[in-house]
Structure formats: C-alpha cells, structure tokens
Amino acid sequence: MSVSPSLPLLKRISPGLWVGLVWIAAALGPIVKYVLMPPRHEYSLSYPRQGLDPLSAKLLLAIAFALVLAGCVLLRRRTSLGYGLLLAGTVASTLAWRQDEIPPAQYLGVDVALCYVAATRPRRSSLNAAAAALATLPCYVLLRQGLGIQDSGVIPEPYIALTVVIGWLVGNSVRQSQLHTEELHTQAAAQAVTAERLRIAREMHDTVAHSIGIIALQAGAAARVIETQPDKAREAMVAVEKTGRETLSGLRRMLGALRQADREADREADREPDPAADEAADKAADEARKPAPLHPAAGLADVERLATTTTAAGVRVEVWWQGRRRPLPADIDLAAFRIIQESVTNVVRHSGADSCRVTIGYGEDELTIEVRDRGKGTCADAEHDTGYGLIGMRERITLLHGHFTAGPRRGGGFLVAARLPLPAATATATTTAATTAIETKAEAAAG
C-alpha cells in the first residue's frame, strides 16, 4: 500500500489560523503590556491604561475578537465574507481603544489575509479586496471625526497603504507562479500524450507496412504459380492468411491501448466452447470486413459485394435502397459503408440470426441507414467485441454531426440506425437536377 508524502508543517496550517495568530498577537500585545502588567514608566497615547475601563469598550473589544475569529474560520470556504468580517473586527478593535488611527501592527492581519486572497482568487477578486482594505483607512478617519476622537497629529495611513500594496503584490506573485507551474504541467502532459501517440503511430506504420509488403509478395507469387505449382500457391496463401491475422491482432492491441480500455474479452463464458463454430464465425466476420478490391476507397457502391460475400458465408443480407441514388461526399460515403460493414459483422458474430436487412435511404438533406435482424444479440454483446465496433460507429457519426442509435428491437433482434446530414451542395444539386428535368420535359411538350 503506497503512502502519500505528508505536507510540511507550515503548509498544513490553514490560512485562517495564520491570520488569526497575527491579528490576535497584535491585539493582545498592548492589553498585556499596558493593562495587565504592573505600571511602568512606559506610557502609550494609543493604548492608555484607562482606555478599556468603560464597559462599552470591553464589549466592543469582545465583539472585535468574535468578528475576527469568525472571519478566520470562513476565510477559506467563503473568502469574501471572512475578509469582510476581519476588516470589521479591526475597525471595532480600534474604536474600543478610541484610537485616532488604525495601528499598523493591527493591520498586519488584514495584509496576511489579502495576501492569501491574491494568491488563491482571480485578479478581479483580489483587486476588490485590496480596494476594500485601502478604502477602510479614510473611512475610519471620517468615522473618528464623527465620534469626536481627537487627532494626535500622526498620519500612518500612507505606511499602512504601502503594506496593503506589498501584501497584494506578494500574493499575486504566488498566484502567477502557480498558474505558470500548472501551465507547464499541462504542456508536459500534452507533449507526453503526443509523443506516445506518435510512437504508437510509428509502430503501427512499421507493422502494417511490413505486413502488407509480405502479403503483396506472397499474393503475387501465388498468382504467378497458381496454374503450374498449386502447392506453392497454397503455401503462399496460407502465409498471407497467417500474416493478415497477426497484423489484425496487433492492430487491435494498439487500438485498445489508445482507447485505454480494460474490457474482458470472454463474452461467451456461459456456453460450452465450440471451436468449429468460432472459427466459422471468425472467417465470416473477416470476409465481411474485407475492403472492396475494385475501388481505392470503399463506399456504398460496395454494399452489394459485401452482401454477396456475407450471404456466401452463411448470413443472408437483403439490401433495400430508398430515394434517388446519387454521388455523395467521400467522407460520408465511406462512413456509411463502414457503419453497414461493422453492423453486418456484428450480426454474424453476435446475433445468431441467419439473415438481416440493410436499408439505405437518400433524403433531401440526410442519408439514413438501418441494419436490423431478428437474432438474440444484445448491445452489451456487441460492445464486448474487441474491435470496439459500436464505439467506432458512434465516433464516425459524431465527427460528421449525425445521429446514431443502437439497441435491441421491441419485437426482438437488434437495430442499428444512423442519420448523416448531407451538405447543402448535395441538396442543391438534387434540386437543380430535378428542376432541369422538369424544364426539359416542358420544352419537349412545347416542341
């Protein structure tokens, strides 16, 4: 069991306790020195021995202590309220002694609290707190004149204001340092993530490039000797199959690391293992995942080939086209085919059904896709696939600003539905084509 290192003692003390210690030390100092201790030659005009004799002075001093203690307790959770109570307690303590000016030592507690506010709160809040501390000084002068307290001729306000500014500058420097440190940590984390992704991308590139090169060589050799040396051709195709399966396994492991998923692959632990059935399902799924050999990039034009291949593997696929078929943008065309391909693969792997229906609808402003079956597969079964099929489909649709749903059907089976919005150019082209056709018909009728 790991044990986290404890913070230093000075950092474990709460800021409210620091403020309370400074303020109470400054408040108790003159009480002990000029009131409780035996009379000496020293005498203070600001703290006369008879200053606390009236009951009102003692009561006001007790209220000042209560306000300051409450402010120290609330300083971390409700900073503004705690800071205001601290200022009010400082003014009340000064009035209890009937002093003509706020003592600089008494204001040190306010400076410490301001330093904490500037270090932990946004700049606007800390500037408001500093302005409140500075405004308290002239406000007390006006209050003193209203109460008739005599002026001793000493003007400590500039020095107190200087301590306020210094306290804010120290706290603001601490906050800037913390923000800079957090920014450096964020940049370091982002750089680490980027470096790791680049490393995985390089590893994936090397693996795939090497494997595809071997597959291309073996396939070419098999094509050349298939008529004259069937055994050699068979060996080459076995090597192609082995290399392809190893590459697919490596890609799945890399994608699993990228997604940071920790999922169990034992989705059929409740039934008796059937190696023959598993091998047949794997072959059918691999056939369904093969890209179209006639085009550089797969698209909806390859759906019929996918249906034929899957039907030959044992699962009949019916393809229904709705609306007027027309060219689509490459990204939408590819995403639509991949969704159908992965859905059909899930039917082969998880549903146990012997057929499924693929419906492709061309609308005015969107493309709809539905793949439904009447098998026993569930969404949970499909999500346990190590290929992350449903997650990948949802990510494709999200990137294209579409809508994706997948789940059990009410009447039984499973349904995958997706809606892909079409760009305005496609819809405009459709409208233009329809308008042109109408105009052509009208001209023919007039002729």
Mean pLDDT of 418-428: 72
Confidence of residue 440 (pLDDT cuts 50, 70, 90): very low
- pLDDT tens for each residue of 377-392: 554 444 444 445 677 7
Residue 380 confidence (pLDDT): 44
Q: What does DSSP say about strands 403-408 and 316-322: parallel, antiparallel, or unpaired?
A: unpaired
CA distance 277 to 349: 10
- pLDDT tens for each residue of 250-290: 677 666 656 654 444 344 444 444 555 455 555 554 544 44
Confidence of residue 70 (pLDDT cuts 50, 70, 90): very high
Q: Which residues pair with 371 in a beta bridge?
A: 358, 416
Q: What are phi and psi of 417, to 5 degrees?
A: -130, 140
Residue 27 confidence (pLDDT): 82
The larger pLDDT score, comparing residue 42 to residue 185, is at 185
- Angstrom CA distances, 303 to 298, 328, 340, stand at 9, 14, 8
For the ranges 68-72, 243-247, 393-397, 437-441, the lowest mean pLDDT is seen at: 437-441
Residue 253 confidence (pLDDT): 64
Side chain identity, residue 151? D
User: Is residue 209 scored above 70 in pLDDT?
Assistant: no
For the ranges 258-272, 294-308, 323-337, 359-373, the lowest mean pLDDT is seen at: 258-272
Residue 258 confidence (pLDDT): 62
User: Is residue 169 scored above 70 in pLDDT?
Assistant: yes
* Percent over 90 (pLDDT), the chain: 14
The overall average pLDDT reported for the chain is: 75
CA distance 294 to 273: 38
CA count, 13 A, side-chain hemisphere, 65: 11
